[in-house]
Structure 1
Amino acid sequence: MTLLYLVRHGQTEWSKSGQHTSFTDLDLTPEGEEQARALRPRLDPSEFGLVLSSPRLRARRTAELAGFSNYVVTDDLQEWNYGEYEGKTSAEIRAEHHPGWRLWFNGVPGGETADEVRQRLTRVVRLVRSSGVDKAICFGHGHASRVLALCWMDFPLIFGQAFPVETASLSILGREKESWAMLRWNS
């Protein structure tokens, strides 16, 4: 059985302010760099047979600062495409467009649908499960990591609202007896 480690990128200016960031390619703040370096003592790159990263700079820099240099970039790990809501906070979206807006229920105009996000992160799950390695690790983003975990456990995507992902956090997915399971979250 493969254990899947999920790492959200370290802090950026937009993650700090709560702005939705998908395709905008931001680097880490100095605090984000420190958060990524703090992962080093917790992760030994030699233990991971499969190392994947989103193509975004913030995810790749987190991987590198955590000690991982030989990662494979996959577009399937990029953040949910927020379309017209790129760069906006949830409060701004609610004030300007939709008073009760929540990504998990209402989606985004001009961006990806929940089904599209699920399809590409299900491909990551299939890749990891078929890899034959003991441990795999993915460096990615907040909403995409939630979706990846939900795909791993075959849960409906609306459950994502209940699983916030902190910057530079580490989560572990695997099995509990015969069920796909979340073994650690935001540790």
Structure 2
Amino acid sequence: MNTTTNGTPADPPELWLIRHGETEWSRSGQHTGRTDIPLTERGREQARALAAVLAAARFDRVLSSPMSRAIETCRLAGLGEHAQQEPDLREWDYGIYEGRKTKEIRDDVPDWSVWTSPIPEGESVGQIQARALSLIERLLGSPGRIALFSHAHFLRVFAGCWIGESAALGAHFYLDTATISVLGFERENRVVRQWNVRHPDVK
């Protein structure tokens, strides 16, 4: 990776983070990691509404989580033809908490939080942080505008790692379905350029 004297990539990337459209579990608040659940009809409408925004931007690369909800969002948003699957964009593995709501988990484990609590048979916060940092390091070597179709918790982790190399910072980023967020640089500093932007036609 070529860098300037202050450590900024010579041709820094601009990363567009796109969360997939609504699913039954995103609507109900169930943790959806490795379960390959499809979009709802509303989720498909949300994805189609993204097309006009994304068509106005030129992307040098398009990467998608291998989960069908991300792939379908990418396709309906008009970028499926150019997309490559990227395994590191998959959602957090919630282990034994897959399919459960935080409120239900807290009935058994008071004060449970995905950000601070153990996740048996799943990914720890340290493991998902390592995954996000590894992907960031690779993307820093890819100049231009890059679209990343992924999932709520992973994209929040990714943003935390982008600005502070800390997955835990993701707890402070709220993310709706079918939204666009943009990460980039201001001089040598990694910054959040926009966050959780929903197209006016997305309901």
TM-score normalized by structure 1?
A: 0.95
Calculate the aligned-residue CA RMSD, in Å: 1.2
**Pair member with larger Rg:** 2
Q: CA deviation at 1:157?
A: 2.2
Q: Would you say 1:89 and 2:101 are equivalent positions?
A: yes
The 5 Å alignment of 1:116-127 reads 116-127=127-138
Q: CA deviation at 1:58?
A: 0.2
The separation in 2 between residues aligned to 1:168 and 1:46, in whole angstroms, is: 17
- Identity rate of aligned residues, in percent? 42
Q: Would you say 1:73 and 2:85 are equivalent positions?
A: yes
Deviations 1:47-97 (A, max 9, x none): 11111100000000000000012211111000000000000000010012x
Match of 2:120 in 1: 109
Match of 2:43 in 1: 32
Question: Contact conserved, 1:45 with 1:68, CA < 8 A, in 2?
Answer: no
The separation in 1 between residues aligned to 2:116 and 2:20, in whole angstroms, is: 25
Ranges of 4+ aligned residues in structure 1 off by more than 6 Å:
none
> Structure 2: which 5+ runs fail to align?
1-11, 198-203
Question: Contact conserved, 2:128 with 2:167, CA < 8 A, in 1?
Answer: no
The 5 Å alignment of 1:134-145 reads 134-145=144-155
Q: CA deviation at 1:158?
A: 2.0
The amino acid of 1:84's aligned partner reads I
Match of 1:183 in 2: 193
The amino acid of 1:177's aligned partner reads R
The separation in 1 between residues aligned to 2:29 and 2:57, in whole angstroms, is: 34
The separation in 2 between residues aligned to 1:19 and 1:45, in whole angstroms, is: 34
